[in-house]
């Protein structure tokens, strides 16, 4: 499914077209005649973003297509000169059944185009907007005919006059003719598109879900001073504000958004993030919203005399397949906030770092949250696509993996970012099964390891590509002190472990396995030599979760665990860790039967905690424990997976993939009281309900298969259906 040969290749037999004066937005139209047809199929790529219509009706409710990829080769300049890494490129073709939209007689196929990721002037532009399409029609006799992009396509400037993918759009409806996409409307002054050179790239049919409106929200007015109204959407999320614009030609309407509000209910200027939308009214009343970008905020301001129709919540159309319910308000908030944050960060086929500032598929954030997302949502097709993006952004010469996939200039490090090429597919295999492991995975991981070797000294990973970042951990609540070489070498060992397990189960290469084991021993020796204190049992001074990193790859002893735990006493029950350390710390506590402490940290309301963020009124996770910058970053939400794997106990043997052997093994945490949840596995949903009392522990497990219930050192059989256990304390 992830290997190259499984991609559905497509070849267009007609021309790309472009628009010589390259307006900010384009309206394009091709008229054609049809007889009685039995079926019709449209294949289209509109770069940057496109929307399609036939005879004035939308072809689809999909948004922000085509999917974001490293579309084709381009010239990029960097601090150290021209960027010379050799990567792979592809564009995904959108395919639609349009049989019901084509009528006998005259028809108009129309597209609206905007800059999107491909042509945005304020991003790393690939080129100007362009379009290619074909409709294959079959009549009742089985004869086929085709409508295709060529120089007969006519075009005009659209109503979007200014555009920035992250900052917003300016619409001008002063002279907009909203009948342009009907065949009856004649457009004598429109220009003809021109043919252009084909793009040298791979073309693949896509089955990754697109963005759609997934929820309609009716915001509440929280302030009206007679000039402007402030609205509360009710939660921080991504989407579009929909307005009713009056027939008042030339009237300017400006919408401003913010993640936070001040005490007087005005917008917090520090959280506006330059997100604006401007609308200039025309001669007709019109329902309007942004078309080729989205807002991401909770609060927004509009003039008091403008009607707000609704807020359309928009993200990749994936289904939330999990449930989690707890009496503990912080634990419940973590789950709810993660789901809300993650959905807001799924657009155009990538998991992003934030839905407003950068919107990039950071490999660091993405590998951190992969397990939590796959545990809670139906994302098999989504991650199939994004894993291919990670593969595409690997340098064929050195094995280097970029900090974002698709590649956009950004910052990161060789382990926590580049290691996504090993870790994200590995998590995918764990969730969806052994059969998805491919030779390509192993070969790409090996090439990545060669890059790490070339950037190591004395057994430690010490650098990345010249003049770029080389982070270890990131977003610690105080200054980063945990050594980057220690963190990056930890990741090297971790990813070797993951590759070795995948190879043992699926890909026999004894020589490579032996070489990896020897390499791992050398890395461990370097960590022990440089960071281990034999007198205390600590690694890197036990700073910012360093002991947890070591324990996670099998290093240390009881002193290492005890010293790690001792950091978090009643006066310091909050996190001192960054994005990776937080995830690792919680996992290591659970794995080492310190679940009570893991629970206390997860539910703490201390100064650097999830509870503190919750108490600020947040509905999403923040980028920093301290609250600076973005208030919609999913990376700290990686711990959400442990609500399922440890607190509910839905797990599997570490040596098996695809939940081949179901195990329910909840960590005993008496303070939890009553809680429950659901997780969807490849063969069906598992539901677990648990109640801890002073005298006994009660468990109800709804399982679709046979399995094992493991608790307090004892194993009990699970059969399909409802299983109940009562165990005295």
pLDDT digits (tens, 9 = 90+) for 55-77: 999 999 999 999 999 999 998 88
3-state secondary structure of 470: coil
Q: Grade residue 511 by pLDDT with cuts at 50, 70 and 90.
A: confident
DSSP string, 573-618: -S----HHHHHHHHHHHHHTT-HHHHHHHHH--SSSSHHHHHHTT-
Q: Is the dihedral of CA 581, 586, 592, 598 positive or negative?
A: positive
Residue 165 near residue 296 (C-beta atoms within 8 A): no
**Nearest one of 370, 386, 255 to 308, comparing CA atoms:** 255
Is residue 627 classed as helix, strand or coil in its secondary structure? coil
Architecture of the domain spanning 373-604: Alpha/alpha barrel (1.50)
Q: Is the pLDDT of residue 42 over 60?
A: yes
Q: Which fold has domain 212-316?
A: Jelly Rolls (2.60.120)
The kind and range of the H/E element at 329 are helix 329-344
Tokens of 4: 């190259």
pLDDT of residue 2: 35
Contact status, residue 539 vs residue 531, Cβ threshold 8 Å: yes
Name the 3-class secondary structure at 124.
Answer: coil
Residue 506 has pLDDT above 90, yes or no: no
**Surface-to-core class of residue 212, CB atoms within 10 Å of its CB (0-12 exposed, 13-18 middle, 19+ buried):** middle
The CATH classification number of 662-728 equals: 2.60.420.10
Q: Are 669 and 599 in contact (CB under 8 A)?
A: yes
Q: H or E stretch including 169?
A: strand 168-172
Looking at the chain, the whole-number percentage of residues with pLDDT higher than 70 is 98
Give 681-714 pLDDT, tens digit per residue.
Answer: 999 999 999 999 989 999 999 999 999 999 989 9
The answer to whether residue 6 scores a pLDDT higher than 50 is no
Tell me if 212-316 shares its fold with 662-728: no
User: CA 560 to CA 538: how far, in whole Å?
Assistant: 5
- pLDDT value of position 206: 83
**Distance between CA atoms of residues 355 and 391, nearest Å:** 23
In DSSP terms, 191 is beta-bridged to 155
Write the burial class of residue 268 (CB in 10 Å: 0-12 exposed, 13-18 middle, 19+ buried). Answer: middle
Q: Please spell the DSSP secondary structure of 414-428, one letter per residue.
A: TTTTTTHHHHHHHHH
Judged on CB neighbours under 10 Å (0-12, 13-18, 19+), 610 is buried
The bridge status of strand 168-172 relative to strand 276-280 is parallel
pLDDT for 446-456, tens place per residue?
999 999 999 99
What's the CA gap between 559 and 536, in Å, rounded?
7
Residue 719 in contact with residue 688, Cβ under 8 Å?
no
Q: Does a cis peptide bond (omega within 30 degrees of 0) precede residue 156? A: no
Query: Whole-angstrom Cα distance, residue 7 to residue 384?
Result: 10
Nearest to 475 by CA among 328, 376, 590, 580: 580
519-572 residue pLDDT tens = 999 999 999 999 999 999 999 999 999 999 999 999 999 999 999 999 999 999
3-state helix, strand, coil in the chain (%, to 5): 30, 30, 40
- Please report which confidence band the pLDDT of residue 7 belongs to, taking 50, 70 and 90 as the band edges: low
Interatomic CA distance for residues 69 and 386, integer angstroms: 9
Instruction: Put residue 540 in one of left, alpha, beta given phi > 0 → left and psi -120 to 50 → alpha.
Output: left
- Which residue shows structure tokens 């030779």? 439
Closest CA to 165 of 51, 43, 25: 25
Q: How far apart are CA 543 and CA 536, in angstroms?
A: 13
Instruction: State the chain's mean pLDDT as an integer.
Output: 95
Domain boundaries, given as residue ranges, for the chain: 4-161+176-206, 212-316, 373-604, 662-728
Tokens of 11: 């070849």
Q: Give CA–CA dist 422/513, Å, rounded.
A: 15
**pLDDT confidence of 504, banded at 50, 70, 90?**
confident
Q: What percent of the chain has pLDDT over 90?
A: 88
| C-alpha to C-alpha distance for 29 and 161, rounded to whole angstroms | 19
Tell me what pLDDT residue 639 has.
98
Among 220, 237, 221, 222, smallest CA distance to 312 is for: 237
Q: What pLDDT shows up at residue 205? A: 93
Please, what sign has the CA dihedral across residues 278, 284, 289, 290? negative
- pLDDT at res. 110: 98
pLDDT over 90 at 140, yes or no: no
Higher local confidence (pLDDT), 541 or 269: 541
pLDDT tier at 459, thresholds 50, 70, 90 = very high
Cβ 2 vs Cβ 119: under 8 Å: no
Q: Does residue 182 register a pLDDT over 80? A: yes
Q: How far is CA 154 from CA 180, 192, 259, 268, 461, in A?
A: 11, 4, 41, 45, 56
Q: Do residues 376 and 320 make contact, with C-beta atoms less than 8 angstroms apart? A: yes
Classify domain 4-161+176-206 by CATH number: 2.60.120.260
């Amino acid at each position: 499914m992830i290997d190259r040969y499984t991609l559905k290749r497509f070849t267009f037999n007609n021309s790309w077209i472009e628009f010589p004066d390259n307006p900010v937005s384009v309206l394009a139209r091709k008229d054609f005649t049809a007889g009685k047809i039995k079926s019709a199929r449209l294949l289209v790529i509109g770069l940057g973003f496109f929307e399609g219509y036939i005879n004035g009706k939308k072809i689809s409710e999909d948004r922000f297509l085509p999917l974001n990829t490293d579309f084709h080769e381009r010239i990029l300049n960097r601090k150290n000169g021209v960027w010379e890494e050799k990567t792979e490129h592809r564009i995904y073709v959108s395919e639609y059944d349009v049989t019901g939209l084509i009528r006998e007689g005259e028809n108009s196929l129309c597209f609206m185009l905007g800059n999107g990721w491909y042509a945005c002037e304020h991003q790393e532009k690939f080129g100007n907007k362009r379009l290619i399409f074909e409709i294959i029609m079959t009549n009742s006799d089985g004869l086929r005919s085709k409508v295709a992009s060529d120089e007969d396509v006519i075009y005009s400037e659209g109503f979007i006059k200014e555009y920035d993918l992250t900052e917003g759009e300016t619409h001008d409806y002063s002279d907009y003719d909203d009948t342009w996409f009907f065949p009856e409307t004649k457009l004598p002054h429109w220009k003809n598109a021109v043919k252009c050179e084909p793009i040298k790239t791979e073309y693949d049919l896509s089955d990754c879900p697109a963005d759609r409106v997934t929820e309609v929200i009716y915001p509440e007015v929280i302030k009206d001073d007679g000039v402007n109204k402030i609205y509360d959407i009710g939660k921080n999320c991504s989407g579009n504000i929909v307005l009713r614009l009056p027939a008042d030609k030339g009237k300017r309407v400006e919408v401003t958004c913010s993640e936070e509000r001040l005490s007087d209910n005005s917008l917090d200027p520090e959280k506006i993030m330059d997100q604006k939308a401007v609308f200039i009214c025309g001669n007709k009343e019109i329902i309007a919203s942004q078309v080729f970008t989205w807002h991401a905020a909770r609060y927004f301001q509009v003039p008091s005399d403008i009607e707000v129709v609704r807020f359309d919540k928009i993200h990749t159309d994936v289904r939330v397949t999990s449930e989690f319910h707890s009496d503990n308000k912080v634990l419940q908030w973590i789950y709810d906030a993660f789901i809300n944050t993650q959905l807001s960060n799924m657009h155009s086929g990538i998991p992003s770092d934030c839905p407003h500032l950068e919107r990039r598929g950071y490999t660091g954030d993405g590998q951190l949250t992969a397990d939590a997302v796959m545990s809670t949502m139906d994302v098999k097709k989504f991650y199939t696509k994004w894993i291919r993006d990670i593969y595409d952004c690997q340098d064929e010469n050195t094995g280097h993996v970029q900090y974002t996939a698709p590649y956009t200039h950004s910052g990161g490090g060789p382990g926590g970012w580049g290691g996504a090429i090993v870790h994200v597919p590995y998590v995918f295999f764990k969730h969806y099964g052994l059969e998805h492991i491919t030779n390509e995975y192993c070969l790409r991981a090996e090439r990545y390891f060669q890059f790490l070797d070339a950037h190591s000294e004395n057994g430690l990973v010490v650098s990345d590509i010249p003049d770029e970042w080389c982070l270890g951990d990131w977003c610690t609540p105080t200054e980063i002190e945990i050594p980057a070489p220690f963190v990056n070498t930890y990741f090297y060992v971790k990813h070797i472990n993951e590759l070795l397990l995948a190879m043992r189960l699926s890909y026999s290469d004894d020589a490579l396995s032996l070489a990896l084991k020897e390499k791992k021993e050398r890395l461990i020796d370097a960590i022990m030599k440089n960071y281990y204190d034999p007198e205390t049992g600590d690694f890197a001074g036990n700073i910012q979760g360093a002991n947890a990193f070591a324990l996670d790859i099998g290093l240390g002893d009881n002193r290492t665990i005890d010293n790690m735990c001792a950091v978090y006493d009643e006066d310091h029950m909050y996190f001192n860790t960054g994005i990776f350390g937080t995830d690792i710390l919680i996992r290591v506590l659970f794995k080492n039967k310190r679940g009570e402490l893991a629970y206390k940290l997860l539910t703490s309301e201390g100064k650097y905690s999830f509870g503190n963020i919750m108490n600020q009124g947040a509905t999403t996770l923040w980028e920093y424990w301290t609250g600076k910058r973005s208030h919609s970053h999913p990376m700290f939400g990686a711990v959400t997976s442990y609500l399922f794997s440890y607190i509910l106990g839905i797990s599997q043997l570490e040596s098996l993939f695809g939940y081949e052997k179901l195990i329910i093994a909840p960590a005993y945490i008496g303070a939890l009281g009553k809680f429950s949840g659901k997780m969807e596995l490849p063969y069906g949903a598992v539901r677990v309900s648990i109640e801890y009392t002073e005298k006994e522990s009660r468990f109800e497990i709804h399982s679709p298969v046979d399995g094992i219930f493991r608790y307090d050192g004892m194993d009990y059989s699970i059969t399909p259906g409802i299983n109940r256990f009562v165990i005295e304390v």
